[in-house]
Structure 1
Amino acid sequence: LQELDLSKNNLTGKVPEFLAKIKSLKVINLSGNNLSGPVPQALFDKKKEGLNLILDGYLEQCKSCRKTFPVAAVVAASLSSVAIIIIVLVITFIFKRKKPAISKVTRPSLETKNRRFTYSEVKEMTNNFQVVLGKGGFGVVCQ
Structure 2
Amino acid sequence: MKHLYDMARALGVSIEHADLTEHDRDGDYCAETNTIRLQQGMTRRLARSVLAHELAHAIFGDVPSMFGPVNAKQERRADEWAALRLITREDYRVAEALHGGHAPAIAVELDVMPDIVEAYQRVLLRVGDVVYTRPRMGAGQWDARSYVASEHVA
Indicate the structure (1 or 2) with the bigger Cα radius of gyration: 1
TM category (shorter chain) comes to: under 0.3
Q: TM-score, normalised by structure 1?
A: 0.27
